[in-house]
Amino acid sequence: MFFFQQKNSLGLGIVTDADILNYICYDIDDTEMVELLRPSFEEAQPIQTQEIALDYIGKRGSTVGATSDKRIRFANDILQKEMFPHVGVGQFSGKKKAHFLGYMVFLLFPFFFFSFFSFFFSFLFFFSACFF
């Protein structure tokens, strides 16, 4: 794939596209999943380092008019303390949180592979089998 050599930062210590894909797909040869993620990687192209990713996150918080260092510290605090606190709150919990986030994205993929009609008809079949 063309985007494995690029760098996009997740803000949790994971920088390369291949690393991010490993946290989500578990199998890089699964072309359907990789193709579904391609637009996200293309959109994240300007974010090349962890500092840029943290500054991007910090700009969307309540740090309007703050310096870049303050925004980065704010984003770091948000990611460490507020995002998935049940996974870990310490300074070195970024990889665990990345695994958890990747797993949640991985669990959403079956909803992209099934159309609404196949889901609807399977629900009707299940409903009729349970009650009739």
pTM: 0.71
Residue 103: inside a domain: yes
Calculate what percentage of the chain has a pLDDT beyond 70. 76
Residue 16, strand partner residues: 7
Is residue 9, in this structure, part of any structural domain at all? no
Residue-wise pLDDT tens digits, 20-40: 888 888 888 888 888 888 998
Instruction: Tell whether 21 is covered by a domain.
Output: yes
**What are the residues whose beta carbons fall under 8 Å from the beta carbon of 106, sequence distance 6 or more?**
24, 25, 26
Spell out the residues 6+ positions from residue 28 whose beta carbon is closer than 8 angstroms to its own: 1, 4, 18, 21, 22, 34
3-state secondary structure of 7: strand
119 vs 81: CA distance, rounded Å: 38
Establish if 74 belongs to a structural domain: yes
The alpha helices in 44-93, defined as continuous H runs, are: 50-59, 68-77
Integer angstrom CA distances of residue 75 from 18, 40, 60, 87 = 24, 21, 9, 18
**Contact indicator for 57, 75 with CB cutoff of 8 Å:** yes
Question: What domain count does the chain have?
Answer: 1
What average pLDDT does the chain have?
78
Bridge partners (DSSP) listed for residue 7 = 16
Residue 57 inside a domain? The answer is yes
Residue 124 counted as domain residue: yes
pLDDT at 132: 47
Which tokens hold the place of 79?
Answer: 């990611």
**Does the residue 11 lie in any domain?**
no
Average pLDDT over residues 116-125: 57
Rounded mean pLDDT, 52-68 = 86
Boundaries of domain holding 48: 17-131
Residue 54 · residue 63 · CB < 8 Å: no
CATH of the domain at 120: 3.90.1110.10
In a domain, 4, yes or no: no
pLDDT top residue among 112 and 100: 100
Percentage of the chain with pLDDT > 90?
A: 7
* pLDDT at position 71 over 60: yes
